[in-house]
Amino acid sequence: MAKRIYSITKYRFHAIVISALLLIVGIVGYIAFGGFNLGIDFQSGFSQRVKIESSTSVSIDNMRNALGAGVQVQVVGEDSAQTFQVKMGADNATEDELAKLVSEKLSAAFGQGKIVVLQSDFVGPKYSATLVAGSILIVVVSIGLILLYIWFRFKISYALAAILGLVHDTLMLLGFIAIFKLEVSSTTTAALLTIIGYSLNNVIVIFDRIRENRPILKDLSMMKLIDISVSQSLTRTLFSSLTTILAIVPLAILASGAIQLFAIEMVFGILVGAYSCNFLAPSLLLWITKKKEATHPKHVTDTTAPEVAKVTGTSTESAVVEEVAIPTAERKLKGKRQQNK
């Protein structure tokens, strides 16, 4: 049982307004910063990782000057390693032609035999268009299947609240990627699907607790029931998110390339998911299912604060709820869970 009951639903309008404002910031950022920074997975192009084996220091500006306009250059790892990622549009050229062009320009600038090609990737226009359509389809189908699953397991109101929360998490991550100009690639699709699954797991834990408590605490308003259920699950959802973030942060700091981007997107997505599953999704559930009950709670016969402590396992001083009508349900809750065991 929860040691402290938090009035989550009391601030439901604040949660919805904050989420709406952040989504607007993401949309504005997407427009202001010129859309997404698409990788070669989602637009036709050529990418090559090269190492300059030169006794003189080679900076990213030296690389950009050597390759000319229209070519993206990024440092890979430490500056002293002199390893760079070079990206350029295909413009109907073949992979061999683009590889030869890069090699000639770098050799002319830094000398013959100084260029070591570590990795090359090429994506044609047809394949990139197919990959974009496939990635969008995967995300849409995943959300649709989640909707059917929650609808079958719970109710349509629970499914709608969960899907709105997952769409919120997806849009927030996309806004973050657009504002900070992170590269959008197949790794981004993997991060999106992972975050959707992670957030869904936490939402189901909370919704399952609400469903479990509802027949036992049937004299409570939906608002109080959600507060109790979220408070009972809060430690579990926050700690699971925190431990996952602690495992990923080193990758976000120390790794490079696609692994680092994946880690950064995961950290942000898990933070947003922890917020949405504990605050936004329950608030949306209350708004969808029990809007009238939020302002007109059911009549009950016993309104003593000690009964709150019996059901929640709290002291009357630590409970952050108004004195509400709760039946003597501690025996029922314990008895039911012992039977299930």
Q: Which residue among 123, 140, 166 closes a domain?
A: 123
Same domain, 51 and 161: no
Same domain, 21 and 113: no
* AA letter at 211: R
Task: Kindly give the parts of the chain with pLDDT less than 70.
Answer: 1-3, 79, 124-128, 290-341
- Structural contact between residues 307 and 330, judged by C-beta atoms closer than 8 angstroms: no
Same domain, 254 and 284: yes
Name the token pair of 31: 């427009």
Same domain, 226 and 253: yes
Q: What is the pLDDT of residue 256?
A: 75
Q: Would 335 be classed as within a structural domain?
A: no
Same domain, 254 and 274: yes
CATH of the domain at 101: 3.30.70.100
Q: What is the pLDDT of residue 243?
A: 94
Same domain, 152 and 216: yes
3-state helix/strand/coil string of the chain: CCCCCCCCHHHHHHHHHHHHHHHHHHHHHHHHCCCCEECCCCCCEEEEEEEECCCCCCCHHHHHHHHCCCEEEEECCCHHHCEEEEEEECCCCCHHHHHHHHHHHHHHHHCCCCEEEEEEEEECHHHHHHHHHHHHHHHHHHHHHHHHHHHHHCCHHHHHHHHHHHHHHHHHHHHHHHHCCCEECHHHHHHHHHHHHHHHHHHHHHHHHHHHHCCCCCCCCHHHHHHHHHHHHHHHHHHHHHHHHHHHHHHHHHCCHHHHHHHHHHHHHHHHHHHHHHHHHHHHHHHHHCHHHHHCCCCCCCCCHHHHHHHHCCCCCCCCCCCCCCCCCHHHHHHHHHHHC
Same domain, 94 and 208: no
Q: Would 73 be classed as within a structural domain?
A: yes
Q: What is the pLDDT of residue 151?
A: 83
CATH of the domain at 167: 1.20.1640.10
Instruction: Tell me which residue range forms the domain holding 27.
Output: 9-35+128-312
Q: Would 340 be classed as within a structural domain?
A: no
Q: What is the pLDDT of residue 307?
A: 45
Same domain, 132 and 119: no
Q: Would 115 be classed as within a structural domain?
A: yes
Q: What angle do CA 86, 87, 89 make, to 5 degrees?
A: 150
Same domain, 169 and 55: no
Same domain, 68 and 150: no
- Structural contact between residues 282 and 226, judged by C-beta atoms closer than 8 angstroms: yes
Same domain, 104 and 249: no
- Structural contact between residues 2 and 231, judged by C-beta atoms closer than 8 angstroms: yes
231-286: pLDDT as tens digits: 999 988 999 999 999 999 999 998 877 888 999 999 999 999 999 999 999 999 98
Q: Which residue among 98, 123, 148 closes a domain?
A: 123
Q: What is the pLDDT of residue 313?
A: 56
Q: What is the pLDDT of residue 249?
A: 95
Pairing relationship of beta strands 83-89 and 37-38 according to DSSP bridges: unpaired
Reported as half-sphere exposure (CB side, CA atoms, 13 A), residue 115 has a value of 24
Q: What percentage of the chain has pLDDT greater than the value 70?
A: 81
Q: What is the pLDDT of residue 323?
A: 38
Same domain, 50 and 165: no
- Structural contact between residues 228 and 312, judged by C-beta atoms closer than 8 angstroms: yes
Q: Would 56 be classed as within a structural domain?
A: yes
Q: Which residue among 100, 123, 146 closes a domain?
A: 123
Q: How many CB atoms lie within 10 A of CB 119?
A: 11
Alpha-carbon gap, residue 34 to 106, rounded angstroms: 30
Euclidean distance between the first and final Cα of the chain, in Å? 16
Q: What is the pLDDT of residue 139?
A: 84
Q: Would 317 be classed as within a structural domain?
A: no
Tell me how many domains the chain contains.
2
Q: What is the pLDDT of residue 74?
A: 80
Q: Would 104 be classed as within a structural domain?
A: yes
- Structural contact between residues 86 and 73, judged by C-beta atoms closer than 8 angstroms: yes
Pairing relationship of beta strands 37-38 and 71-75 according to DSSP bridges: unpaired
Q: How far is CA 88 from the centre of its chain?
A: 30
Q: Would 195 be classed as within a structural domain?
A: yes
